[in-house]
Structure 1
């Protein structure tokens, strides 16, 4: 198993994965820094409101965020096959899809904003959440455009560009967060909504920066058509949507389960909601690293499909499983060891800390399942297998996790911990059955290479 080719693939995968992981971490660390500053400067009610708004906004955006990663394996496949016309078509269609998602998902978000009370939160949380939520949903538009462009760089094995831009954006977000929340010099003190305005400003700047990189870097300029005609690529856009939407649904079902868990936490208490937000923020950091490994795995699998090499395909997928298993095992141990210290970064309230500790311990345990299911989905995207995995994720999170979480939280003495135990069970189910689906799909070699 551990041949020279295996270690070469490990090296190649790590070189690709590392910038993607850093970029993924940069995206989630923006939310982490927002929550730390909000919790430190504004207290638990503001933290709960921001957590609710971000979770619901990300839930709506999830179908786009989860749909875009089908683009990079396709580009990698066409790049390996040296099919330049298909690369141009895929790039053009990715821009069309970003615009489609922006229009429809923003409309859904505004409709929810007008009926925000249906989430069943307290009057104070509703009052704080609504303006914050509106600013965040507007900021999703430049985010979608940025992610579409990012997939182009990743698919061409140039992830360092978006990595650099993301971390410059993170640095700017830290400065703007502090200034807009507390006021600084000529900048007025805005409070909670200052964090949302910071997110909006940074996302616009990141999109513009990546667009300029696309225009001026020779290594990617060849994927841009001489004249960008979105209507001309209508057929390719529809084909890409057929892959993107099921892939987005996979992500939506998982993120949706966690977002509904946020809402259920609010039914328990504001303290439970704040504790849950801290635990989910920490686990989201490690999860985004796992998705970075998953994205690199999907790109390497897509590259192998372009070369029509089943040995390379198996090798790429096996390496991605190995890398994520090692990483998530390490993070599990770190979270268990430094449980209280991690929570204390967010807030000093002893009640919140005592509520968050058992939740974070459960989050530590499901690290391995979470990482494996993320990589399995990535490998399946690499072979353009997205429909059956969407059903598996729906069952895992909406048939198993959420009903079980409600039962354990409100009909046993487990309370908030019951919701997290149910999430652990759903993630484990997804990990097992997505892996089984991938290795079953590999038996149909002809279908993989003709897709």
Structure 2
């Protein structure tokens, strides 16, 4: 990371940080992407089971990972302000917090998983696949949360290519184990969708071990001596982590969980509808990795500039990221509109599932533009460490506006299950508008503070 003085330099630095993050996010999501696709090729029941399991797991994982993402702006501002000596302690406390959070999830999950699945109106075979898929996945939960802390530290230094290489190394292994364990090749048992959970758990252990080795042995990370001194848990540092991280995690949770809530509400429909919805939402989520990656890159560069009190540069980076995300959203929105039928073939050979998936993807075009605004804006706000109001805005946009409206359209109009997607679009649009207003306010506030301090 370095200070930049021209738009050209800023574009170069943002791109240098963004592209590896994007490749990493696409690679991480590709694990779930291949889980879904390959399970769908095994049977519609396994596709639906993995869909239900993912709908329960993804919001929990992303929400708690969002808490750990607080390591990124904290470390970025420490480095931007020249205060590097506090970095090792911050990262180590993040690792401790990751272990505690993962243990809490496993304990709570052990009590609530079965009642939740039993309360859903789904076929027994689908219920069994969902339960066993989640149990298999849980064996990789602790290393996955630790990896998120290590990744946040690596990314905060601007070395996003490292996490990109780690992900690219692990992805083929995940696909191979999916193939072996889902379809029962080379003497392995044919586990169907459950095999996808086992393969993901193995992969989570792998990427964590690689990240630990990199941080411990490779420059510039080894210069911080993260694991050379094992400090005791510091609950004061945990407080800083959670004060920033909990609102970030809740904001992400409220956005991601609305998609999962829709999938769970759609359990009232037949299995092929659930399968088609999950296939479409899976591909739409794959595209969401683009604005999400821009969001993560903005947190790093904006945090770095704010830490160095370069408020004007932080503002330029913020809107540069939003503009770039909108441009890309228009491009892949057109691609999605034109090739939605071909995309559906990635997920299933069932004619009815194909038809429904293509129709769902038509609605996905609508909320891509809103995602392209609200995600980068949230990333910029995290760079300013402005997280509390953002969390409230996300809650209102997604759960007070989006989900109730979708439920009404789905159940009281002729749109049926597609009504939920219209509700999603409404919630994301509300979030894009309110969060953009918040970013404008924060930028104005920081500019005034800087003027007062310079007088």
Question: Under a length normalisation based on structure 2, what TM-score does the superposition of the two structures give?
Answer: 0.94
Structure 1 gaps, min length 5: none
Q: Distance in 1 between matches of 2:16 and 2:114?
A: 46
1:193-220 deviation digits (Å, cap 9, x = unpaired):
1111100101111111111111111201
Q: Which moved more, 1:441-450 or 1:212-221?
A: 441-450
Q: Distance in 2 between matches of 1:109 and 1:448?
A: 45
Partner of 1:77: 77
Q: Distance in 2 between matches of 1:138 and 1:120?
A: 27
Partner of 2:326: 325
Q: Distance in 1 between matches of 2:139 and 2:190?
A: 21
Partner of 1:291: 292
Partner of 1:244: 245
1:132-188 deviation digits (Å, cap 9, x = unpaired):
121123322221111110001000011111111111111111111111112222333
Q: Which moved more, 1:53-62 or 1:85-94?
A: 85-94
Q: Which moved more, 1:321-330 or 1:245-254?
A: 321-330
Question: How far is the alpha carbon of 1:384 from its aligned partner?
Answer: 0.5
Partner of 2:230: 228
Question: How far is the alpha carbon of 1:123 from its aligned partner?
Answer: 2.4
Please say if 1:135 is aligned against 2:132: no
Q: Distance in 2 between matches of 1:256 and 1:287?
A: 14
Does the Cα contact within 8 Å between 1:70 and 1:244 map onto a contact in 2? yes
Question: How far is the alpha carbon of 1:446 from its aligned partner?
Answer: 7.2
Matches within 5 A, 1:192-203: 192-203=193-204
Does the Cα contact within 8 Å between 1:173 and 1:199 map onto a contact in 2? yes
Q: Distance in 1 between matches of 2:44 and 2:58?
A: 21
1:405-427 deviation digits (Å, cap 9, x = unpaired):
11111111101110000000000
Does the Cα contact within 8 Å between 2:133 and 2:193 map onto a contact in 1? yes
Structure 2 gaps, min length 5: none
Partner of 2:62: 62
Number of residue pairs matched by the alignment: 446
Partner of 1:212: 213
Partner of 1:86: 86
Partner of 1:168: 169
Does the Cα contact within 8 Å between 1:109 and 1:137 map onto a contact in 2? no
Partner of 1:336: 337
Matches within 5 A, 1:31-430: 31-40=32-41, 42-115=42-115, 116-223=117-224, 224=226, 226-231=228-233, 233-430=234-431
Q: Distance in 1 between matches of 2:100 and 2:448?
A: 29
Q: Which moved more, 1:91-100 or 1:361-370?
A: 91-100
| Change in 2 beyond 3 A, CA 1:352/1:82 | same
Question: How far is the alpha carbon of 1:128 from its aligned partner?
Answer: 2.1
Q: Distance in 2 between matches of 1:437 and 1:428?
A: 14
1:201-252 deviation digits (Å, cap 9, x = unpaired):
0111111111111111120123315312142x32111111111111000011
Q: Distance in 2 between matches of 1:439 and 1:158?
A: 29
Question: How far is the alpha carbon of 1:448 from its aligned partner?
Answer: 7.6
Question: Under a length normalisation based on structure 1, what TM-score does the superposition of the two structures give?
Answer: 0.95
Question: How far is the alpha carbon of 1:4 from its aligned partner?
Answer: 7.8
Question: How far is the alpha carbon of 1:447 from its aligned partner?
Answer: 9.1
Partner of 2:442: 441
Q: Distance in 1 between matches of 2:147 and 2:436?
A: 30
Does the Cα contact within 8 Å between 2:59 and 2:260 map onto a contact in 1? yes
Question: How far is the alpha carbon of 1:190 from its aligned partner?
Answer: 2.6
